[in-house]
Homo-oligomer: A and B are copies of this chain.
């Protein structure tokens, strides 16, 4: 086939793979696996443009791929014979600009590598999530990643100052201005953030950096119920204002599974309650005693009954132990057996009512189903994962009904059925069902405008068959 030969000639033997493509074609959750025409691994923006021009001319769909850590199958093809465009070899990180608090990186740079390099300048790139050892900047931008620090520092769309993007027909848009303020027309950089590789291929980005914290304080708190949790969270945001870098919650059922299934963990409190929150403060200013401030706030919360129990980490070991409880939550549930994951958000004020309502509604669908809501209290983002009733190996026929109930209820509560993981291929049908025709039409119009031939990651965000309706 001519395209294959052209790509091989353009990219060379290391740049065009047609064998052993399994790790590229299969997503993290193993939802999809279709043999591609091949895997393109360009080394420059010009090569990316060349790949797109050739594929465009041949009418062959292309799926851009970063670290392939999507939880919605958004970075693998939905059918055989497509081109996978891996940005992994484009991983250069330019010199940090300490005066402008920015750094320009190629799309294939791994998040943890960016962390490491900017930290040598006493700066941070404040995006943290479980997959940071393999997730790449381009994929994080394409999916508008959120993570545990989004309340303070924002999502990827808030951390990208400038972008370079290759269009579906192989033109290069240089929007790589490292600026907070650039109102010369539509905010294209914001549009490409979260477009999941369906509008263009991100090749480079200017990222926003922040001063590194010089001190931290971390506490784990046990709270009577979710209603109290919401009030506690709002109070902490008021009293400790700009210092809160994380406000992560989990629940008793998740903690119980975690402590049963994962060894070497330490639960530092004496009381067990229905809900827990990990609060972390940090500051880049010297001379601020965060631990005292946190202890004082918690003392007040204890006196007014907002918390039942709590501990402030006395050192980094204790801090790490607290974070492990939160971070290992998915692992604790995975080891329990079958599960179904959901990534939703609801307006923070309604979080407690939402969880209560879900306990009742999901119980009707599958009596005994075990709920494990945990996530980001500050922004209402809940990873609302489910396990089958105790003693049952799976959900029987109820998986779809459980998910649909959760998704529809999140939407009805003014929230979102897709908070930070995106739609990928897994959730496009739900989007058709749960979002308004007006919204879907706007999105289809944008897709049609920027990728009229539907060649870039077809089937992601909009249905593959007919995104034009």
A400 within 8 A of B: no
- Do B183 and A423 touch (CB < 8 A)? yes
A129 within 8 A of B: no
Q: State the main secondary structure of chain A at its contact with B.
A: loop
A422 within 8 A of B: yes
A406 within 8 A of B: no
Also in contact, A184 and B449, with CB within 8 A (given A179-B380, A349-B100): no
- Do B177 and A414 touch (CB < 8 A)? yes
Question: Which B residues are CB-close (under 8 A) to A150?
Answer: 180-181
Alpha-carbon distance A101/B53, docked complex (angstroms): 47
A158 within 8 A of B: yes
- Do B185 and A423 touch (CB < 8 A)? yes
Also in contact, A190 and B285, with CB within 8 A (given A99-B349, A182-B418, A415-B179): no
Residue in contact with A435 in the complex, picked from B155, B185, B241, CB distance below 8 Å: B185
- Do B438 and A174 touch (CB < 8 A)? yes
Give the distance to chain B from A411, nearest Cβ to Cβ, in Å: 8
- Do B439 and A450 touch (CB < 8 A)? no
Also in contact, A155 and B180, with CB within 8 A (given A242-B242, A293-B285): yes
Give the interface segment out of A217-225, A232-240, A391-399.
A232-240
Give the interface segment out of A1-9, A165-173, A259-267, A319-327.
A165-173
- Do A100 and B380 touch (CB < 8 A)? yes
Alpha-carbon distance A237/B443, docked complex (angstroms): 39
The copy count of this chain in the complex is: 2
Question: Which B residues are CB-close (under 8 A) to A230?
Answer: 99
A442 within 8 A of B: yes
A466 within 8 A of B: no
Q: Mark A435-456, 1 if CB is under 8 A from B, else 0.
A: 1101101110111111000000
Alpha-carbon distance A167/B157, docked complex (angstroms): 24
Alpha-carbon distance A76/B293, docked complex (angstroms): 52
Give the distance to chain B from A350, nearest Cβ to Cβ, in Å: 8
Alpha-carbon distance A376/B181, docked complex (angstroms): 10
Number of A residues near B (Cβ < 8 Å) is 98
Q: Mark A258-286, 1 if CB is under 8 A from B, else 0.
A: 00000000000000000000000001111
A389 within 8 A of B: no
Give the distance to chain B from A106, nearest Cβ to Cβ, in Å: 18
Alpha-carbon distance A230/B422, docked complex (angstroms): 39
Alpha-carbon distance A122/B435, docked complex (angstroms): 35
Give the distance to chain B from A282, nearest Cβ to Cβ, in Å: 9
8 nearest A-B pairs in the assembled complex, by CB-CB distance? A241-B284, A449-B449, A190-B190, A184-B418, A180-B379, A99-B349, A182-B416, A445-B449
A contacts, CB < 8 Å to B? 97-102, 122, 143-144, 146, 150-151, 154-155, 157-158, 167, 171-188, 190-191, 193-195, 199, 210-211, 230-231, 234, 237-243, 283-288, 293, 345-349, 376, 378-381, 414-423, 427, 431, 434-436, 438-439, 441-443, 445-450, 461-462
New A-B pairs, 14, CB < 8 Å, besides A99-B230, A144-B187, A187-B190: A154-B180, A157-B187, A178-B414, A179-B414, A181-B381, A184-B416, A185-B194, A185-B462, A186-B191, A186-B446, A210-B241, A211-B241, A240-B285, A442-B450
